[in-house]
Amino acid sequence: MATTHKTRMLIIGSGPAGLSAAIYGARAGMEPIVVQGLQPGGQLTITTDVENYPGFREVIQGPWLMQEMQAQAEHVGTRMMWDTITSVDLTGDVFVAQGDSGDTYEGDTLVIATGAQAKWLGVPGEQELSGKGVSACATCDGFFYRGKKVVVIGGGNTAVEEALYLTNHATEVVLIHRRDSLRAEKILQDRLFAHPKITTLWNKRIDRFLAGADGQLRALALIDTETGEQGEILTDGAFVAIGHAPATELFKGKLAMDETGYLIVEPGTPKTDIPGVFAAGDVSDHVYRQAITAAGTGCMAALDAERYLAAKHFAGVTETVQY
């Protein structure tokens, strides 16, 4: 039977942003509800080694970290829901979200932590070798390629930034693009072309990712987009850098977002253009996209949600809320 769940803080998304908001919200007595979505634990559940989340000297596993975060959130009083939100109504005093299960969720405040997914090429070998030489995040995985050769695939700002970042670790970085010029900003291109460790391969599309006998990425099969000629490039790592897609379909026409779909927040805060609705993590961050930044903004969202409710309570329903 369909049920209506009410809470002082409704959180959509169970990655580092959503679960950190839940930990802070629960400890502030807001009895949060987290609707987990199709990827409980978020993006870190599809990776293996995590070496940059503070507090752990040794390499930890992404899925383990998210299990611990969820256990901590539950331990302090969060209710976790196996459901996916299919529509939201942000027009009233209470924010209403409809679950795929038929259940309805009502929150006095709403934290949106639906994340963003890396775009992949969708060619053979890519998903099979993800975490075994294929990555979509140089900041996350670049460190593992110290003294090695890597390739970066893409032609926009992300690709150029990833290539430049990887020069801190790799001895050789090859940027592969399917056209003969880049879309990236000129200043980034200038840095790229001037860098002694970086070379470019133009007019090449990736046909497939090839594994070695050890099951790790060995090479990329390429096709020249002009001549159709086939080739191969040997590499230790491949970084797919063709952009990210924020999960904001639900909020189109309801919340301010930029041209690529990221939710717009007041600078330095998680506040959206609707008071009481907050955005945390990758859904509003196309720059940093890290577990620690997602957790940090999740914490900020919970603190601001608590302040919003306190101010609302103090002002009474007829006055403007200042928080």
Ligand X SMILES: Cc1cc2nc3c(=O)[nH]c(=O)nc-3n(C[C@H](O)[C@H](O)[C@H](O)COP(=O)(O)OP(=O)(O)OC[C@H]3O[C@@H](n4cnc5c(N)ncnc54)[C@H](O)[C@@H]3O)c2cc1C
Q: What positions carry a catalytic annotation? A: 137, 140-141
Is 247 a residue that touches ligand X (CB under 6 A)? yes
Among positions 84, 157, 203, 225, the unique one binding ligand X when judged by CB under 6 A: 84
In angstroms, what is the minimal distance from the CB of 304 to ligand X?
16
User: Using CB under 6 A, which of 111, 136, 160, 279 touches ligand X?
Assistant: 136
Per-residue mark of binding to ligand X, 280-319 (x: CB under 6 A): -xxx-----xxxx-x-------------------------
Name residues contacting ligand X, limited to 19-38 (CB under 6 A).
35-38
**Least distance in Å: CB of 31 to ligand X?**
18
Q: Among 9, 33, 140, 305, which residue sits at the site for ligand X (rule: CB under 6 A)?
A: 140
3-state SS of the chain? CCCEEEEEEEEECCCHHHHHHHHHHHHCCCCCEEECCCCCCHHHHHCCEECCCCCCCCCEEHHHHHHHHHHHHHHCCCEEECCCEEEEECCCCCEEEEECCCCEEEEEEEEECCCEEECCCCCCCCCCCECCCEECCHHHHHHHHCCCEEEEECCCHHHHHHHHHHCCCCCEEEEECCCCCCCCCHHHHHHHHHCCCEEEECCEEEEEEEECCCCCEEEEEEEECCCCCEEEEECCEEEECCCEEECCHHHCCCCCECCCCCECCCCCCCECCCCCEEECHHHHCCCCCCHHHHHHHHHHHHHHHHHHHHHHHHHCCCCCCCC
Per CB under 6 A, which of residues 48..67 are in contact with ligand X? Answer: 50, 52-53
Residue list 95-124, contact with ligand X (CB under 6 A): 113-115, 118
Q: Which residues bind ligand X (CB under 6 A)?
A: 12-18, 35-40, 42-44, 46-47, 50, 52-53, 84-85, 113-115, 118, 136-137, 140, 247, 250, 281-283, 289-292, 294
